[in-house]
């Protein structure tokens, strides 16, 4: 009788090679994944630095504009509604809601609400300060009558302190 051998599907060499490759993968994968993660973070940080640098350049150019007196004047006119001496200021509240007053141009009626909207911000603040002062006078209290601030009472004119 002749024995016939079936060919081996896996040889010892293939099994050893698979174990070595598996061990190499287990050892290299954590290092490789952390490297790739750090590269992604580095890319994101570089883009943030570039965006911050662009913002910084924009702010420095804006700061340089404030050295120009004409720019300061234009900003005071635009933001604070300042006018030069001798000029007349006009403010359009909302052109879409203002009725056409062509026929009644001579008759101007203003209500207190309309007047409050056309006042500049500093006039509104001043009006509120005056109203707060008037409310304090109505109560009959003044700043000195507000109470004990932790100080000693004023000495009488006839007594002396040691």
DSSP-based helix, strand, coil % in the chain, nearest 5 = 60, 0, 40
Show the 3-state SS of 2-23. Answer: CCCCCCCCCCHHHHHHHHHHHH
Q: Is the pLDDT of residue 35 over 50?
A: yes
Cβ atoms of 83 and 77 within 8 Å: the answer is yes
CA pair distance 135, 141, nearest whole angstrom:
9
Q: What is the pLDDT of residue 152?
A: 53
- Tell me, yes or no, whether 65 lies in a domain: yes
Confidence of residue 61 (pLDDT cuts 50, 70, 90): very high
Q: Is the pLDDT of residue 103 over 60?
A: no
- Tell me, yes or no, whether 141 lies in a domain: no
Q: How far apart are the first and last CA of the chain?
A: 136
How many domains, in total, are found in the chain?
A: 1
Confidence of residue 77 (pLDDT cuts 50, 70, 90): confident
The mean per-residue pLDDT over the stretch 49-72 comes to 94
- Tell me, yes or no, whether 88 lies in a domain: no
Provide, rounded to the nearest whole percent, the portion of the chain with pLDDT above 90.
41
Q: Is the pLDDT of residue 125 over 70?
A: yes
Q: Give residues with Cβ within 8 angstroms of 125, minimum separation 6.
A: none
The model's pLDDT over 9-29, given as tens digits with 9 standing for 90+, comes to: 668 888 899 999 999 999 999
- Tell me, yes or no, whether 18 lies in a domain: yes
Q: What is the pLDDT of residue 91?
A: 77
Cβ atoms of 89 and 83 within 8 Å: the answer is yes
- Tell me, yes or no, whether 64 lies in a domain: yes
Residue-range definition of the domain harbouring residue 64: 8-70
- Bigger pLDDT: 155 or 81? 81
CA pair distance 18, 45, nearest whole angstrom:
40
Q: Report the chain's mean pLDDT, rounded to a whole number.
A: 79
- Tell me, yes or no, whether 161 lies in a domain: no
Q: Is the pLDDT of residue 30 over 60?
A: yes
Q: What is the pLDDT of residue 116?
A: 47
Positions of E strands within 9-144: none
The mean per-residue pLDDT over the stretch 143-161 comes to 52
């Amino acid at each position: 009788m002749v024995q016939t051998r079936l060919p081996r599907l896996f040889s010892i060499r293939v099994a050893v090679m698979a174990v070595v490759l598996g061990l190499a993968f287990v050892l290299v994968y954590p290092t490789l994944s952390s490297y790739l993660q750090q590269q992604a973070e580095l890319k994101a940080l570089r883009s943030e630095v570039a965006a911050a640098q662009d913002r910084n350049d924009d702010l420095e150019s804006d700061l340089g504009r404030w050295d120009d007196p004409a720019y300061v004047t234009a900003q005071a006119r635009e933001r604070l509604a300042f006018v030069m001496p001798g000029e007349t200021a006009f403010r359009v509240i909302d052109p879409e809601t203002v009725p056409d007053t062509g026929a009644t141009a001579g008759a101007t009626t203003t209500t207190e609400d309309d007047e409050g909207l056309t006042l500049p911000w500093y006039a509104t603040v001043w009006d509120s300060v005056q109203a707060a002062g008037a409310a304090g006078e109505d109560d009959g209290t003044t700043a000195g009558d507000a109470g004990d601030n932790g100080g000693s009472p004023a000495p009488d004119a006839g007594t002396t302190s040691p």
